[in-house]
Amino acid sequence: MAERLGRELVPDGLWRIVEPLIPPQPERPQGGGTRHVEDRAVFTAIVDVLTTGCAWWHLPAEFGVVEGRPDR
C-alpha cells in the first residue's frame, strides 16, 4: 500500500525532477543518529502534508516517518 500511495502522490516523472535537488544523506558515526528514512518517502510525506493540511503526527505509518518530524 505504501508504494502505491507514494506513486499516486509523487509519480515517477515528478520524482526524477526532484531527486537530484535533494542533498546527499550525511555520514553518520557508527551506531549514532536516527535511522535513515528514504528520500522519496520523506518527500511524499511532505507532499501529503502540503496537499491535505494534516499535521506530521497524523501521517500514516506507511510513509515511514514514525517520529513527530523527519530528520531529513
Model confidence at 23: pLDDT above 80:
yes
Exposed e or buried b for every residue in 30-50, given b needs 16+ CB within 10 A? eeeeeeebebbbbbbbbebbe
| 33, 70 contact by CB (below 8 A) | no
What radius of gyration, in Å, describes the C-alpha atoms of the chain? 13
Nearest Cα to Cα of residue 49 among 33, 31, 69, 32: 69
The confidence score (pLDDT) of residue 1 equals 40
Q: What percent of the chain has pLDDT over 90?
A: 24
More confident residue, 11 or 37: 11
The confidence score (pLDDT) of residue 57 equals 79
Mean pLDDT in residue range 10-37 = 84
